[in-house]
Structures are given as structure tokens and as C-alpha cells.
Amino acid sequence: MNVTYVYADSLEEWNCSEWRCAVPARAFRRTARHNATMISIPEFAQNTAQAQEACNEADLIVVQRNLFNRVLTMIQHWQALGKTVIADFDDAYNLIHPTVKNYKFWMEGKYEVNRDGKVIGEDIITPTPLKQFRWGLQLVHGASVPCRMLAEDWQQLTDMIIVPNYLELSKYGNLPPKNSGDKIIIGWGGSLSHLQSFEDSGVLEALKAVCKARPKVRLMICGDRRVFDRIMLPAHKKIYQPFVPALEWSYQIAKFDIGIAPLHGEYDKRRSWIKVLEYMIMKVPWIATNYPPYEDLIPYGKVVQNNPEQWEQALLEVIDHLEDYKHFARTSAYTFALNQNIDDNIESIISSYSKIIDRNTTEH
């Protein structure tokens, strides 16, 4: 099979395209029996020579999330030439919260216009990207998403398949010096899109209480500074780590004694499992909101209902029995995470893709 992934992220925001396009593409190439190529959304929309070559050779074209404007035209172009085209996305754009950076774009079509690295104004897409996204799902032959609820949400518009975010094990061997033991680090990393997760889950109140009750505890926030600034803890009780390149992320996770994954609201119910799965592959005990993204991981950590009391109780339980939880994280939880290696699961992805290709060619 030859797949062309059309990725949506810019280099500055590179994250989703790593998980949804680059990781599977590299796994395809490592099989030596299959191949995958990557082109950007602008290349695809402009139908550059490189895009034409990649799409001409593809058995399947996977277009990531940006189903609007000229991308819709090019989807129809390649379908008319007999190609099977599917979409891939990993967020609930229809449920996006006003605090999330991309809310104005998806819901109102507004975006910043930049020139020479400076914002010079605002422009608008009409109809809105969300409306065009719905049209796009009705055009494509199917769509892949990383979680069950996203598949259920959109199955009326197209043939939905679940392709989880799998791990690329080579990224997870980067270990810092061992924690001296004089501190217990509760860690989390992410973007501003998770601010509501912290504010409304009850975890903030719990962290304040736990840091007061257990003097050795510190909170480490990696990523968006605005999340760190909104957490009202004494300065010496919290640690900030700016964004790091993807290959350095495992080094930061390994500093955590306990990983947390608070979620809140309908948007968060449709995230992927990757935050917790990364804790597991780095042998870090974890506590998460009892939400659908983590339903398959419940045996390997601790899940809580969203209220300050449950978060506080769970945090204190793990802190006070930390060595027991670390032992479990090094054994059963780690073994499960190892089995989510992309190379061990690429045949499952190929099988899902093949079914859509076969259905398309049979129908036509």
C-alpha cells in the first residue's frame, strides 16, 4: 500500500501532524513492503508538482483536518481521477470552547493575517471552516479519528474508522538524572486548550490542598505559560518548563513522580489517550479524569470523578504509597504501553485503510 498524508500543522505548531501523519508514515516505510509520503496542505491545495507526484502514486490520500476552501476542490479532483481520499482529525471542532485559541477560526472563520512575522490585520473565511468541514466529510470516502466518541459524532456523514495515536518507542529513552527524593514532582504538559480542564475539573483546589498537606510536593507545568500562571500556588511550590522539541519531551516526563491528566467538558471527552499513554511508557504513575479517552487504560492507573475531594484523595493516596505505584508503573502499565508501539500496530492501520479502499473501488 502507498499512502500520501496531507499534513495540516505548520512547523511552529507541530504536534497533531506528528501523531496523525508523521508517526504512521515512518512506520509504513519501515515495513519495507509499504510506503508513505507526506505533503503539506498548501502543496495539496496548490496542486504543486510534488503534490501531483505524491497523489498520483498513492492508493490512499489522507487529508488532515483542514477541509475547506481549495482543499475541497482538490479532494474532488483526485476522487475524479479514481483515488480514495479520507480525512483525518483529532479534535471536536464543533464543541470547541471559547477559551481555546482556535475557537474564533473554526466557529467564526476569523484568522490573523501576518506579514514579515507581524500581525497586520484579520481576515475571514466564509462559509465558516466548521461548515465547510462538514461538507468535506460528506465528500471524502471516510475519516480516521483517534477515539470512539469522535467516530460516533460524525458517523452520519461518512464512514468513520478509529486509528489510535500509537507510540514511536525510539522517542522514549531520554532519561534525566534520578530525582534525589527530597521532592515529589506532580507533572503535566500541554497547551492553553487545556486551561478549562484545570479550572473546572476540581484539580486546582486539590493541588493547593495537597501541596499544603505534603511539604515535599511540587507541581511542574510544561508548555503554555498561561496555564502555569493561572495556578495559584506559592512560587516555590511550582516549576515551569517551556515547550521543548518532540524528541526532548520524554526527558521532561521522566522528571515526574506522578503524572496528571485532568479533563472537563464535552470537548475533552473527545481527546486521544496519548497523554496518559506517554506517562505509562515512561513508567510514571498517573491520575486522570474518568473520561472516555482513558477508558481502555483504567486498569493501569487511577481515574477520578471531577471534584476536588476525589482529586485530593487520589493524589494523597499515590503520594503516600508512591513506591508501590511506581512498581506497578514499571511492570503491568509499562507492558501495556509497549504493546501500543506503532510498528506492532501498523498492520491494523493498513487493514482499516484497505477496507475503505476496497469499498470505494467496489462502489465505482
**Exposed/middle/buried for residue 351 (C-beta within 10 Å: 0-12, 13-18, 19+):** exposed
Q: Picking from 7-11, 36-40, 236-240, 245-249, which range would have the lowest pLDDT averaged per residue?
A: 245-249
The pLDDT of residue 245 is 85
How confident is the model over 330-345, as pLDDT tens digits?
999 999 999 999 999 9
Using 50, 70 and 90 to split pLDDT, how confident is the model at 179? low
**pLDDT the model gives residue 300:** 98
- For 210-224, the pLDDT digits (tens) are 999 999 999 999 998
**pLDDT score of 282 more than 90:** yes
pLDDT surpasses 90 at 313: yes
Of 157-161, 247-251, 326-330, give the lowest mean pLDDT range: 247-251
Q: Under a CB-based contact definition with an 8 Å cutoff, are residues 96 and 105 in contact?
A: no
Query: pLDDT grade, residue 180 (50/70/90)?
Result: low
pLDDT band at 186, cuts 50/70/90? Answer: very high
Give the pLDDT band (50/70/90) at residue 177.
low
Name the pLDDT band for 189 (thresholds 50, 70, 90).
Answer: very high
Q: Which domains does the chain have, with CATH numbers?
A: 2-101+129-166+342-363 (3.40.50.2000), 170-338 (3.40.50.2000)
pLDDT tens-digit series, residues 4-42: 999 999 988 889 999 999 999 999 999 999 999 999 999
Backbone angles phi, psi at 34, to 5 degrees: -125, 170
The three state secondary structure string of the chain is: CEEEEEECCCCCCCCHHHHHHHHHHHHHHHCCCCEEEEEEHHHHHHCCHHHHHHHHHCCEEEEECCCCCHHHHHHHHHHHCCCEEEEECCCCHHHCCCCCCCHHHHHHCEEEEEECCEEEEEEECCCCHHHHHHHHHHHCCCEEECCHHHHHHHCCCCCEEECCCCECHHHCCCCCCCCCCCCEEEEEEECHHHHHHHHHHCHHHHHHHHHHHCCCEEEEEEECHHHHHHCCCCHHHEEEECCCCHHHHHHHHCCCCEEEECCCHHHHCCCCCHHHHHHHHCCCCEEEECCHHHHHHHHHCEEECCCHHHHHHHHHHHHHCHHHHHHHHHHHHHHHHHCCEHHHHHHHHHHHHHHHHHHHHHHC
pLDDT above 90 for 163: yes
Average pLDDT, rounded, for the chain: 94
pLDDT by residue (tens digit) across 96-106? Answer: 988 777 899 99
Nearest in space to 107 (alpha carbons), one of 119, 97, 120, 121: 97
pLDDT digits (tens, 9 = 90+) for 34-83: 999 999 999 999 999 999 999 999 999 999 999 999 999 999 999 999 99
Q: Given the DSSP bridges, would you call strands 286-289 and 238-241 parallel, antiparallel or unpaired?
A: unpaired
Provide the greatest CA pair distance for the chain.
Answer: 67
pTM of the model: 0.94
Name the residue among 359, 355, 320 with its Cα closest to residue 163: 355
CA nearest neighbour of 231 among 266, 195, 275, 271 = 195
CA gap 183, 135 in Å, rounded = 52
| Residue closest to 192 by CA, chosen among 270, 318, 279, 102 | 102
